[in-house]
Structures are given as structure tokens and as C-alpha cells.
Amino acid sequence: MFFKKKELEIVSPVKGKLISIKDVPDITFSEEMVGKGVAVIPEENELYSPVCGTVTTVFPTSHAIGLTTKDGIDILLHIGLDTVNLKGEGFDVKVKEGDEVKAGDLLVVADFEKIKLAGYRLETPVIICNPEQCKKLTYTKPQAVNKGDVIIKYLK
């Protein structure tokens, strides 16, 4: 008897506009140097976990969070572009390394107004850092998304 492998899902961390990673105006992301994924231009300040798993990294500057799913997929949520330069200003992280999270758990509250006023872009990449661990990746086409909408499906 054969069982069809179930596609696993990564959901949007925030309400906004889903765009192709190729359309992110930062070559580190658009040329997939960090990994494969998509980006969301956020319309709300609260960002939620796109997966169930463990918080593996909270960057000291609070602009990015690394998560690892139970099946070993490493996810990077990078809030805005070049926002490392804000040195944590405008980011209120609600989790710490080692925390177990479910998809939809609050990770960060970002002050996007402050981030924009400081001259930074809001595109928020959601990246699979070890895409070679996935047999197949499928991306949702660019569109308006709500928090929790599926943005990436993968087969492990």
C-alpha cells in the first residue's frame, strides 16, 4: 500500500501583499543567496510564526527570527530590508531562542511607520534556508494575503 506524502505548509506571518522573492529589491534575497521563499509587504504591525517549530535564532537587532520546523526545515523571517541598521529600534520581540511556537503565534511587533520614516523598505522575506531538504516547493502566486494564508507548500 502506498501513501501519498502530505504537502507541508508555510503561512503568511502578516496581512499584506505577497510578492515573488525575485521582486525584492535586495539581491541577497532576490538572487536566493539565503534560500528560497517569498516576501510579504506588511499592512499590520504584528508578525506571527509562519510555521510550527522552535525559535532557533533571535537576531540581536531584533529584525530577523530563525525558526526550525519539527521536520528540520529552517525558516528565516526577515522584517524589512536593511533594517539591521536600526539596531533593534522599532522591533518588540515577543519570543526567545528555544521557545516552541505554533503557526499563528505572535513573534514580533514592528513599528512599520518608524521603520518607513527611517528610510527602510518593508518587504519581509519568508525564506527556507535549507531548500535542498525539500523534494518540491510550490509558491502561492503574488496576491493580497491575510495572516495564516498558505504562501509556500513543500514536500519533505
Task: State pLDDT tens for residues 10-47.
Answer: 999 999 999 999 999 999 999 999 999 999 999 999 99
**Which CATH number is 122's domain given?**
2.70.70.10
Q: Would you please indicate which residues are annotated as catalytic (active-site) residues?
A: 78
d(CA 52, CA 120): 29
Query: Dihedral, CA atoms, 144, 149, 155, 156, nearest 10 degrees?
Result: 120
Kindly state whether residue 3 falls inside one of the protein's structural domains.
no
Burial 89-108 (b: 16+ CB within 10 A, else e): ebbebbbeeebebebeeebb
Nearest CA to 104 out of 48, 150, 151, 146 is that of 48
Kindly state whether residue 131 falls inside one of the protein's structural domains.
yes
Kindly state whether residue 8 falls inside one of the protein's structural domains.
no
Kindly state whether residue 4 falls inside one of the protein's structural domains.
no
Kindly state whether residue 69 falls inside one of the protein's structural domains.
yes
Is the backbone of residue 42 left (phi > 0), alpha (psi -120 to 50) or beta?
A: beta
Counted domains in the chain: 1
Average pLDDT, the chain: 95
Kindly state whether residue 116 falls inside one of the protein's structural domains.
yes
Q: State the DSSP code for 46.
A: E
Report residue 81's pLDDT band, with 50, 70 and 90 as the boundaries.
Answer: very high
What is the model's pTM? 0.95
Q: State the DSSP code for 149.
A: -
Mean per-residue pLDDT, 82-89: 97
d(CA 106, CA 151): 18
Distances, alpha carbon 114 to alpha carbons 21, 53, 94, in Å: 24, 30, 19
Kindly state whether residue 6 falls inside one of the protein's structural domains.
no
Kindly state whether residue 7 falls inside one of the protein's structural domains.
no
| Residue 94 belongs to domain spanning | 16-155
